[in-house]
Structure 1
């Protein structure tokens, strides 16, 4: 759209994008100011100005809407009333930061069955609503929302009370064989009149997802299908029974006759993905609708470029084959006692650091890095690897039979431990959601990942045609391309994306095949990739060369794990001969200019020298517990005030399994929540379980 702008309207499943239509030919932007999410009554009603939605005072309003499904379906009531009280559901909507609810309903519920009494099973958590009519429960839902100062956009989803949507349900237009256009207009008029005096009912979404209808249905309605379908249009010459633009104008006028200050939300064609009709018939310029129109579009994965892959992954992720594609599934385990870390530190008489940080170590098969605040990025550690099998495989080595797996561009997962917005598959916690989504690299068609590294939010990818880890007879022609992470500062996890940065650079390389070598730990593909230094040429012998430009390094430390600013925690270079499996000398030092270390504290730690600092702060240190072996530490961690070397307390590991292996990523995320995390594999590396615990405040 020439003068379109973006207003957030979020829903579970598809993403709703609302475009506020223009009121004046030249927007008066100077008077538009951003305000808080929830609105006080004096700021209502809303209107549109230019590409924005504004309040009564002229300030910008961002609609943060969640779609509350259910009243349009066969139960005739909003979803969730069988699980939680209505007041609790409304409170959750507010706590999660939404200021608006899109409330779908059906013509069947409103016009044909308003006195129907929904099943008690749909209202188990709300006995006071049992024996009430469907329309009365709808009223109660609206009242609960507006009492909480949450705005409501009523949406006529369809005629029949059922699931939506398909092109075979006969509900693709604003009228059907069972419900006429006049029924539709009457419903909008009656609801606008019903809520005329309620300022928090701010808008009417006229009809959900206009789409095709089957040819027999079209013939019965006096329409002329094109082949086996009839599709509505927007802006037909002279209008007509299939012109959505004309119908939306009539519906908007009907609403405004009863509630003159309502927003008129108009969805696009083709399941609300196509708003091109606005150019041909711009409803926001109609005198009857000036300052009222908001355009709405829906976004689904199968409407994007890589249609087949997105569609296949979508369906496979729902059923039996999910483990084939997933490298991570998110679960929540109780770490309540670890979660008390911050509270205990406060009780001990000091506030501790504003943020405890720790970095991440390489896992066998998966690497995890912190990106942004309270977010992780998980991806395969190598472009190709051996996945060992319990039964016979095409290949075998001294460990056993295996198959070859490869790093696909979609095998990158973004995981948020403290998200305000729920995605499909999110795990709800007291402070929001643990959420995960794939974050694919936009590689050219036919190219594979042959080397990958992530530094400071930028991925460097060696890409070339052919499979990663395949045998090479000579040097292969590839390209180096950088991809920058954008959108990490956004609240919505779906806003994060990789975007190419700069032009690709030609690069020749040669690696051994991933199936070469009987011991992958010391020969062949694994050590070559582990030692790959991004120098052009034959790397098959693990040759080293000049590395790509990196930031300044600090001695013997990992930034974010045992480094906090200029502080470094490590075992002492000199040990006193004590059995280091039972105790060792440990120190915290300050890194001086030039890399010299000034020791600030030293003491003898009981435990195994392999398991040391888990997170370092300016006064606190989180260390492995005393019960430690070479491969793991068990049962607890220690919270230490390192300037005095005093142990604040033991922190039990109250989750399954009650140990942490040396190779597992773990620590406290670099965010304000002080969330502790760890992750480990399950089911022969087909699934990675992420465990999170957010401290009590």
Structure 2
């Protein structure tokens, strides 16, 4: 096992000096609170230069990947229905990713807290004997929370850190389409309860170093639900909710990094618009809002920055960004149709005022929580998406922006993933696009 750990470190060790955990040291099965000292001090924080650093002040570059499933009803990572979960985590670590963003739901966290029975856990027990009660092929599948804790242990062995992402309130494949962190089934208070429980459970285990409070808040005034960003205490004010959620987490574990995403639209206040303005005037095609990808609009940070008080050193802003194959947004079109977008046009037409100013002005660190897309001729016939991937990748490299690529899963319909053939084969072509943006030592490892 020691050789295995050293192998992982060679592949994924980051500037944060990932801890080498003795093979004899293991968390008790029932609780993480009795963890040995080795799990206590590999936390990260933000310095006065808006850099994420380790306990010794060394700058860290978090370069990770998303793997979903716990948010959609699988009760486990998608793909474990056909592949060995341990092997998949090994693949992620061996390819140099040092952070795993794991989408979950408020519902599944409260299910685990209250020890409610599982639904269907999509585990192939013949491929995953380690995930059975008996430890044999074809055995009885373990409770989903026990399986999750096994994943946490394997990530710890691999030097792979974890960020829990509250992707939706209710577990559902389309849960991310709900605009807010609450819905008809789970309230803001339920969301905070789930945050508090998962934070407390892992407060002594530095394998889990971050929480993304809510995936992609969005919506417009005339769409029925809308996340806004202002100085009010309105139920749909994401800025206020994010501060509440962050404080609930940090009062329990002041060492966690807190990811705060943006929203979708921000009013053109200088033109007399406000949060009650309709989405668009279809007679003139005038929009009273500055638009963005869901969760990407951080313009409100200028007027109403997130205030975490004594915990400000744990704040990271986390927009999402995608290319033209997901949707041909306005900023992908230029006045001269013979020309295509570039880093400069993307910055001028969208990135800078929407989120990039936060990093450029050293207000706080940025972590692009989702970016990705197709790299093959079938899906990207014009090559535009590959061009966009290169532009954002190189911008993140040049500015040392943290990121988690979307995604490991092959079953992301509008982006594809890093694996294919029922999660059985690694996509080397796509990986070559991502690889330059992964943390590497001076020897390229």
Q: Write the distance in 1 (CA, Å) between the matches of 2:153 and 2:256.
A: 17
Report the Cα distance in structure 2 between the residues aligned to 1:53 and 1:116, rounded to whole angstroms: 39
Q: Which residue of 2 aligns with 1:299?
A: 321
> Residue in 2 aligned with 1:71?
70
- Higher normalized contact order (CA 8 Å, seq sep 6+, divided by chain length): 2
Q: Deviations over 1:52-85 (max 9, x none)?
A: 1000000001111111111111111112222332
Residue 267 of structure 1 is matched in structure 2 by 261
- Contact residue 185 and residue 251 of structure 1 kept, 8 A: yes
Three-state SS of the structure 2 residue aligned to 1:231 is coil
The reply to whether residue 157 of structure 1 matches residue 174 of structure 2 is no
Q: Deviations over 1:533-590 (max 9, x none)?
A: xxxxxxxxxxxxxxxxxxxxxxxxxxxxxxxxxxxxxxxxxxxxxxxxxxxxxxxxxx
Offset of residue 110 of structure 1: 1.8
Q: Give the Cα separation in 2 of the matches to 1:81 and 1:489.
A: 24
Q: Paired residue for 2:229, among 225, 234, 252? A: 234
Residue 118 of structure 2 is matched in structure 1 by: 117
Q: Hey, what's the Cα distance between the residues in 1 that align with 2:15 and 2:154? A: 24
Q: What pairs up with 1:584-603 in 2 under 5 angstroms?
A: none
Q: Which of the two has higher C-alpha Rg?
A: 1
TM-score, normalised to structure 2's length? 0.59
Match of 2:195 in 1: 188
**Alignment-derived partner of residue 131 in structure 2:** 129
- 2:80 — aligned with what? 81
TM-superposed CA distance for 1:290, in Å, is: 1.5
Partner in structure 1 of residue 54 of structure 2: 55
C-alpha separation between the residues in 1 aligned to 2:157 and 2:225?
43
In the alignment, structure 1 segments of 5+ residues that lack a partner are 1-33, 213-224, 311-316, 327-407, 438-486, 494-671, 673-697
Distance in 2 (CA, whole Å) between partners of 1:325 and 1:203 is 33
The structure 2 residue matched to 1:179, chosen from 171, 177, 186, is: 186
Cα contact 1:110–1:187 (8 A) shared by 2? yes
Is the 8 Å Cα contact of residues 15 and 59 (structure 2) preserved in structure 1? yes
Label 1:159 to 1:324 Cα distance change in 2 as closer, same or farther (>3 A): closer
Is the Cα contact below 8 Å between 1:37 and 1:62 reproduced in 2? no
User: What is the CA-CA distance between 1:412 and the residue it aligns to?
Assistant: 8.6
CA distance in 1, matches of 2:236, 2:74: 31
- The CA distance in 1 between the partners of 2:312 and 2:388, in whole Å, is 42
Report SS of the residue matched to 1:227: helix
Return the structure number with greater helix share.
Answer: 2
Structure 1 counterpart of 2:206: 199
Query: Structure 1: how far apart are the matches of 2:66 and 2:179?
Result: 20
- From 408, 411, 436, give the equivalent of 1:491: 436
Please tell me whether residue 144 in structure 1 is matched to residue 139 in structure 2. Answer: no
Mapped partners of 1:104, 1:36: distance in 2: 24
Q: CA deviation at 1:111?
A: 1.4
Bigger fraction of residues in strand: 1
Give CA-to-partner distance per residue, 1:333-370, whole Å, 9 cap, x none.
Answer: xxxxxxxxxxxxxxxxxxxxxxxxxxxxxxxxxxxxxx
Report the Cα offset of residue 432 of structure 1: 6.8
Task: Note the aligned Cα RMSD (angstroms).
Answer: 4.0
Q: Secondary structure at the match of 2:75?
A: coil
Provide the residue aligned with 2:252 in structure 1. Answer: 258
Which of 236, 239, 248 lines up with 2:242 in the alignment?
Answer: 248
For residues 415 and 204 of structure 1, do their structure 2 counterparts lie closer, same or farther at Cα, with a shift above 3 Å needed? closer
CA contact under 8 A between 2:246 and 2:308: conserved in structure 1? Answer: no
The whole-number CA distance in structure 2 between the counterparts of 1:66 and 1:259 is 24
Number of equivalenced pairs: 302
Contact 1:115–1:134 (Cα < 8 Å) also in 2:
no
Q: Quote how far apart the aligned CAs of 1:241 are.
A: 1.0
Q: CA deviation at 1:123?
A: 3.1
Instruction: Summarize the Cα distance change of 1:175–1:293 in structure 2 as closer, same or farther, 3 Å threshold.
Output: same
- For the residues of structure 1 that align with 2:379 and 2:202, how far apart are their CA atoms? 50
Q: In the TM superposition, what whole-angstrom CA distance separates every residue of 1:149-172 from its partner, at most 9, and x where no partner exists?
A: 2111111111111124565xxx21
User: Following TM superposition, by how much is the alpha carbon of 1:190 offset from its aligned partner in structure 2, in angstroms?
Assistant: 0.3
**SS class of match (2:260):** strand
1:430-480 CA-to-partner distances (Å, cap 9, x unmatched) read 99743269xxxxxxxxxxxxxxxxxxxxxxxxxxxxxxxxxxxxxxxxxxx
Residues 115 and 135 of structure 1 are in contact (CA less than 8 Å); yes or no, is this contact kept in structure 2? no
* Residues 133-159 of structure 1, C-alpha deviations (whole Å, 9 max, x = no match): 222222222222123221111111111
Q: 2:51 & 2:383 partners in 1: Cα distance?
A: 37
Distance 1:75 1:43 in 2: 33
Render the CA deviation track for 1:169-205: whole Å, top value 9, x for unaligned.
xx21111110011100000000000001101211111
Tell me the residue number matched to 1:435: 429
Distance (Å, rounded) in 1 between the aligned partners of 2:227 and 2:312: 24
- For residues 82 and 426 of structure 1, the distance between their equivalents in structure 2, rounded to whole angstroms, comes to 17
Q: Which residue number in structure 2 is paired with residue 35 of structure 1? A: 15
